[in-house]
Structure 1
Amino acid sequence: MPKSKKSGTSINLNDPQYYLNRELSWLEFNSRVLHEACDQRTPLLERLKFLAIFTSNLDEFFMVRVAGLKQQVEAKVTQLSPDGRTPQQQLDDIRFTLSPQVTKLHQHFEQVLRPLLANNHIHILDYIDLSDKQRNYLDNYFEEQIFPVLTPLAVDPSHPFPYISNLSLNLAVVVKNPETEEEFFARVKVPKVLPRFLPLPPELGIQHNGQPAHWTGVPLEQAIAHNLDSLFPGMNIQEYHPFRITRDADLALEEDEADDLLLAIEQELRKRRIGGTPVRLEIQSQTPEAVRSRLLQDLELTESDVYEVDGLLGLRDLMYFMALPLPEFKDPPRQSVVPSRLQWLREPSVSSEIPEVEEGKDFFSVIRERDLLVHHPYQSFTATVVRFITHAAHDPNVLAIKMTLYRTSGDSPIVNALIAAAENGKQVSVLVELKARFDEENNIYWARRLERVGVHVVYGLVGLKTHCKTIMVVRREKDRMRRYVHIGTGNYNQKTARLYTDLGLFTCNEEIGADITDLFNFLTGYSRQKSYREVLVAPVNMRDRFLALINREIDNAKNGFTGRIVAKMNSLVDPQIIATLYEASRAGVQIDLIIRGVCCLRPGLKDISENIRIISIVGRFLEHSRIFYFYNNGQEEIYIGSADWMRRNLDRRVEVIVPIQDQDIAKDLQEILGIMLADNRQAWELQGNGSYIQRHPGDRAPEAHSQKTLINMALRSTSIAANLIDNKKNSFYLDN
């Protein structure tokens, strides 16, 4: 075990007391999401959105993390986590931590947000509070639109307990035969094909000063519950109780035994649709013991798997209300800007809408002039990444396009551009990662569509997920071949690019291009590349390179020089990296970490991590970019890429981190880090015990809101560029 010395003491840096639990750290992150829903500064409908995100996050946590722990308990796994907990202890601590969060979630919605919505003319009513006219309308709607798709399922000796699908909302119904007085149990599934919330027409909505409310309606399950007589004619409805279950949804795939990875994953997806074993039961707190016990028995769950709710179940459906055309209750509208250097480009196809510009000035010429950094969503993904691929697809000088796809959207313009490139006779190779969790089906669809037009599709490597974000375009230019490369921190998905903060580097640096060529040979062929010129590639050299970069700061600090590390990522879990950061702190290296989600490092521990400070920023956009800065005794180095400091990223995934060689871009990235470190609006400081404290501006101190600052910086840069365009009518190229 690595040990570290300071002031004559020897400390085992692998001691569990120096590590936070991964699962509990994730629950702390989700608690910060919940805080955004409770924060009065958050616009009203955005608060509903954060409740929906909290609930959706929790669903996935149970489907994957809790399910995995329960499997370990079943298999009698006794291996301890780095923080010294057994699987069962982790499950116990998850429930202890989560129960008050779930209570807070539902109490806040029922006691705070529902009344606040009503005060602002958005009425989520209970069925029992409807007027006769409103009930008549919904009863008719039930008969015409809902009743035909419902299937009541009896449960008795001749009808076994029905299969309850994952994340479905259901009604447990008790009915009585009026002739025999015998009671029966039945289940009615609330269909997902119908909207969860049923709006009333404006004339039947609640009126305010003679004007209809913005929205008036009821939850779908209540409309069903109050019309159960139609489903059980001749029976007396005794009671009904909503419930919802969560099942294990992780794929159990034996890759090395699969002759065809695509077919093997399709088979596993069919199993997922059915769902694995139940791992959670959500019920209302007033559910009687008899119904509760019946559900637990038939689902083979225990009391520790039950989460009681006061109010509506399945609050992820609150995202429905974000579609209401009520901008006054949402974040201010924001439009991504086009980087100034890309504002006037010659398009690859002739268009009367594009102004004439100097011959040869296109996307590729901009990259040849100098590397280009793009920052989403502040800068447009469509006008940068999508445009780059579209240019490449139609440029007659482009010979080949190679790309990795981890997650993309359902109507992906990137995939359409790749199809166009293949149809234009270009050599197109795409690695589609079929094992991207919960996007497997979407990726299979795109893989098959790409194959049909002649694209060379590779499905990934056995035992590794390909998580890197890379594009390479090979272009013939004046008797030579030039490689243009994009390396990013986020997925090639134009929908999430509006919601996630991510960075991308465009470059035609020859050594980086050669590295990416070697990478694609590794991904598509039998190459087993062991070294790279510039980029860090996992699982080949990334772990060793990161450790070397940290150790260099340690050596500098021990030799009396300044040691400094700043890193931004999604998660910090890897024990070896954490132990090395502890060593750096003990040597005097000043370390600032910006970690949105899971962090297993304990900052501020005496003689261990006194020089480490950690913040998490949770706001309007999901912080997703990864940036790594090392002072290097004044010869600063900064990197961006796809990897977090987690075992899975460093050892079980193909990842790419690229060094930033353009000094202006390096300064831009340092400025981004500085803005984030100064945030006092949505930044939370991690404490040594694993809790977080939100920052607030001090007395007379201005509010420093990093995401707002970056929005305003992007708008200012565009405004300056626009003025320069006005002053330089003949210029197509503008520096940032």
Structure 2
Amino acid sequence: MTKAEKISKEIDLLDSQYYINRELSWLEFNRRVLHEALDNRTPLLERLKFTAIFSSNLDEYFMVRVAILKEQAKEQPNQRTADGRTIEQQLLAIYQLLDPMVIEQHRHFEQVLRPAMVSQGIHLINYIDTSPEQRHYLQELFTKQIFPVLTPLAVDPSHPFPLMANLSLNLAVLVEAPHTGEEKFARVKVPNILPRFIALRQELNIENGKINHWTGVAVEQVIAHNLAALFPGMTIKECHLFRLTRDADLELAEQEADDLLLAIQQELRKRNLGGSVVRLEIQASMPQSMRQMLITEMGLVESDVYEIEGLLNLKDLMSFMALPLPELKDPSWTPVIPPRLRHFYQQNKLTNLHDEDKSIFSVIQQKDLLVHHPYESFSSSVEQFIIQAARDPHVLAIKMTLYRTSGDSEIVSSLIAAAENGKQVAVLVELKARFDEENNINWANKLEKSGVHVVYGLVGLKTHTKIVLVVRQEGEEIRRYVHVGTGNYNPKTAKLYTDVGILSCREDLGADLTDLFNYLTGYSYQESYRKLLVSPVNMRDRIIALIEREIQHCHNGHKGQIIAKMNSLVDSRIIATLYKASQAGVQIDLIVRGVCCLRPGVIKVSENIRVISIIGRFLEHSRIFQYHNNGQTEVYIGSADWMPRNLDRRVEAVIPVEDTSIRQNLQKILEIMLTDNRQAWEMQSDGSYIQRRPHQDEPEHSSQNILMEMTQKSLSNK
């Protein structure tokens, strides 16, 4: 027995001390997002954007993760996580970690970003600071456009406490009857149909003879200062803003549902108003009596309440990204056409990528094609693949999965056209894609009406894999073309998320995807695949086997190395296997954007493991896995993170990269990311992160900037 094997036997690698709490790790991820807003190297409007993203992320975190914890606290209060915490301990730790972060976010906006906006001619002013002319304009606007849509709701014995919508912004108003002196409480909702920030007319947007880029006021302040119109004859004593967050996680008894589509539609109707309140945000000025009433009526405890100084709901700051001020944003980026496709289009003098006489299939026949978004264009590659398949008279069938797509997707329109043209079209629309359920239902209905075979996923499993299969008649033969990727078939997010995908006509991949689609649409349960790693069938076992192979190489005196890039690392069994690999001497570099429950750098456990997270202008979304394999390097890409949900409760697909040049390109991407010293954060063994900075005389390396530069240079390559 080797020394490493002896150490491994002595240490319980599943001991709670070796694991980071998932919920707290996510908060550390969101702290890194917030840092982009705090970092003065980030352009001003981008800082507002990251402030908004931080708030938007928190909304979803409370609607789903905290909501689940609160439900578990009722049903399984003694349940412990891999790091040994009870549910109540997690909820308390969330508040203790998050409350200071929220305070920091709002303080930074009020004290740093808001003055910086003013210096750039962007004036978000308080109502009380408006000039008489500006105030007159806002009062007229209130009377004509705001007042008619407001509905004050009284709270008294004959008017029960009103049911309030999820994420709604509200004014808690205390009024006094002038004759009796009796005080009454009322709630006024700030309608979300109104713009959050009301811009003033150009003639009111002048300061010291100079026209500002933008001047405006938050709509809730306009309402608050004109409340007398809503309560005539009453004295307005005080008003304070608050916002609530509800449990928005759908609860589906899939096994009992006769119609999954109908069941989800019914649950969606409940989401906005039916879920229990899980968070209350209030202005810090709210008096204790009013605060206590809201806590009591909503069934909350003190740790569910977050006091805010200044504006609530900073998510709406995202609207400032629409200002035409490119100098205050990241340099614009236009994705380029992948070199081989660009050469093909130029060779055929194809200026219109939708020319149906030219085919992308001839390019794929030559060799596999790697696409890397958003550096390379989604519309000229993956979208074109589907569009041309829909139009090509030689294409017999198209099958694909849709997890999330955009409302104006040309992909969906092409699938509809293909079905109307007599092709066999089968689409698995995942109705349980969280917060995209309604959008997916609409697309599913539209597809079904046009003759597309629509499948709604498997009972008990989400279909998260990103795959397309095209069956084409070529002479006497049938050839299958495939796309396997890491990102959704969504042209909008393809400009914001980093993802990779491979277009191929390899026979074994085509056969595997045929088997996988039969599993998704029929009663097949394929247990073995030629190339694919498929969850929940064989993926977990194959991942563990690949890690253990590196361990064996080390035991045999050879080099062991793993580089893996993903969104999240949570699965305890895989983490324990990685610890075992580290003990054996395997060098492990993990690029994990979000949650990481593994502790790197622990003596005798994970000394050979390093973890970095990259947060930049693009959201890192690709999953790439590299195994040294004693010099015979293997690289895999796919849709799955190393989480229990991806390995056990979702249908996922990961493929080996067999083309040598593509494998080298993916290895280069990983190498560039590992040397990032601008947007990379190094994880510490306690779960905290330290941002990398260039050493003295060392140039700054932003992996995303480097990849943009490399892609741009490819334009000049012959």
Query: Could you tell me how far 1:363 is from its partner in structure 2?
Result: 0.5
Is 2:399–2:469's contact at 8 Å kept on the other side of the alignment?
yes
Whole-angstrom distance in 2 between the partners of 1:264 and 1:282: 32
Is 2:563–2:627's contact at 8 Å kept on the other side of the alignment?
yes
Per-residue Cα deviation, 1:134-162 (whole angstroms, up to 9, x for no partner)? 00000000011111111000111100010
Per-residue Cα deviation, 1:65-90 (whole angstroms, up to 9, x for no partner)? 11111111122431110000000000
Equivalent position of 2:199 in the other structure: 199
Whole-angstrom distance in 1 between the partners of 2:44 and 2:214: 14
Secondary structure, in 3 states, of the residue corresponding to 1:655?
A: strand
Unpaired runs of 5+ residues, structure 2, are none
Whole-angstrom distance in 2 between the partners of 1:73 and 1:605: 31
Distance 1:392-1:277 versus aligned 2 partners, 3 A rule: same
Distance 1:142-1:627 versus aligned 2 partners, 3 A rule: same
Secondary structure, in 3 states, of the residue corresponding to 1:142?
A: helix
Which residue of the other structure, out of 524, 538, 545, is the alignment partner of 1:548?
Answer: 545
Equivalent position of 2:374 in the other structure: 377
Equivalent position of 1:29 in the other structure: 29
Whole-angstrom distance in 2 between the partners of 1:448 and 1:360: 31
Query: Could you tell me how far 1:273 is from its partner in structure 2?
Result: 2.3
Distance 1:353-1:27 versus aligned 2 partners, 3 A rule: closer
After superposition, where does 1:197-346 map in structure 2 within 5 Å?
Answer: 197-208=197-208, 210-343=209-342, 345=344
Whole-angstrom distance in 2 between the partners of 1:230 and 1:200: 22
Is 1:5–1:11's contact at 8 Å kept on the other side of the alignment?
no
Distance 1:274-1:8 versus aligned 2 partners, 3 A rule: closer
Tell me if 1:614 matches 2:611. yes
Equivalent position of 1:98 in the other structure: 98
Query: Could you tell me how far 1:360 is from its partner in structure 2?
Result: 8.3
Tell me if 1:129 matches 2:126. no
Equivalent position of 2:393 in the other structure: 396
Distance 1:693-1:6 versus aligned 2 partners, 3 A rule: farther
Is 1:345–1:361's contact at 8 Å kept on the other side of the alignment?
no
Whole-angstrom distance in 2 between the partners of 1:641 and 1:356: 28
Unpaired runs of 5+ residues, structure 1, are 725-736
Whole-angstrom distance in 1 between the partners of 2:113 and 2:649: 43
Equivalent position of 1:476 in the other structure: 473
Whole-angstrom distance in 1 between the partners of 2:516 and 2:529: 9
Whole-angstrom distance in 2 between the partners of 1:536 and 1:458: 22
Is 2:466–2:487's contact at 8 Å kept on the other side of the alignment?
yes
Tell me if 1:418 matches 2:415. yes
Which residue of the other structure, out of 694, 716, 719, is the alignment partner of 2:691?
Answer: 694
After superposition, where does 1:81-230 map in structure 2 within 5 Å?
Answer: 81-208=81-208, 210-230=209-229
Whole-angstrom distance in 2 between the partners of 1:512 and 1:134: 65
Which residue of the other structure, out of 486, 489, 502, is the alignment partner of 1:489?
Answer: 486
Whole-angstrom distance in 2 between the partners of 1:492 and 1:356: 18
Give structure 1 regions of 4+ aligned residues with deviation exceeding 2 angstroms.
Answer: 3-9, 344-347, 350-357, 359-362
Distance 1:329-1:295 versus aligned 2 partners, 3 A rule: same
Whole-angstrom distance in 1 between the partners of 2:634 and 2:129: 64
Per-residue Cα deviation, 1:70-119 (whole angstroms, up to 9, x for no partner)? 11112243111000000000001001100110100100000110111011
Aligned-CA RMSD value: 1.7
TM-score, normalised via structure 1 length = 0.95
After superposition, where does 1:454-469 map in structure 2 within 5 Å?
Answer: 454-469=451-466
Which residue of the other structure, out of 489, 496, 505, is the alignment partner of 2:502?
Answer: 505
Which residue of the other structure, out of 542, 547, 560, is the alignment partner of 1:563?
Answer: 560
Query: Could you tell me how far 1:211 is from its partner in structure 2?
Result: 2.3
Which residue identity is paired with 2:463?
T
Whole-angstrom distance in 1 between the partners of 2:527 and 2:642: 21
Query: Could you tell me how far 1:5 is from its partner in structure 2?
Result: 3.4
Query: Could you tell me how far 1:420 is from its partner in structure 2?
Result: 1.1
Distance 1:150-1:522 versus aligned 2 partners, 3 A rule: same
Is 1:604–1:687's contact at 8 Å kept on the other side of the alignment?
yes
Secondary structure, in 3 states, of the residue corresponding to 1:246?
A: strand
User: Structure 1 stretch 481-490 or stretch 73-82: which is displaced more?
Assistant: 73-82
Equivalent position of 1:733 in the other structure: none
Secondary structure, in 3 states, of the residue corresponding to 2:527?
A: coil
Distance 1:360-1:508 versus aligned 2 partners, 3 A rule: farther
Equivalent position of 1:658 in the other structure: 655
Whole-angstrom distance in 1 between the partners of 2:369 and 2:6: 44
Sequence identity of aligned pairs in percent?
65
Which residue identity is paired with 1:273?
N
Which residue identity is paired with 1:339?
P
Distance 1:557-1:23 versus aligned 2 partners, 3 A rule: same
Secondary structure, in 3 states, of the residue corresponding to 1:5?
A: helix
Is 1:202–1:212's contact at 8 Å kept on the other side of the alignment?
yes
Is 2:534–2:651's contact at 8 Å kept on the other side of the alignment?
yes
Per-residue Cα deviation, 1:277-307 (whole angstroms, up to 9, x for no partner)? 0011100111111111111111111111110
Is 2:177–2:183's contact at 8 Å kept on the other side of the alignment?
yes
Q: How many pairs align? A: 715
Equivalent position of 1:729 in the other structure: none
Whole-angstrom distance in 1 between the partners of 2:116 and 2:569: 38
Whole-angstrom distance in 1 between the partners of 2:241 and 2:42: 30
Distance 1:351-1:608 versus aligned 2 partners, 3 A rule: closer
TM-score, normalised via structure 2 length = 0.98
Is 2:7–2:604's contact at 8 Å kept on the other side of the alignment?
no
Is 2:176–2:236's contact at 8 Å kept on the other side of the alignment?
yes
Is 1:538–1:655's contact at 8 Å kept on the other side of the alignment?
yes
Secondary structure, in 3 states, of the residue corresponding to 2:11?
A: strand
Which residue identity is paired with 1:437?
R
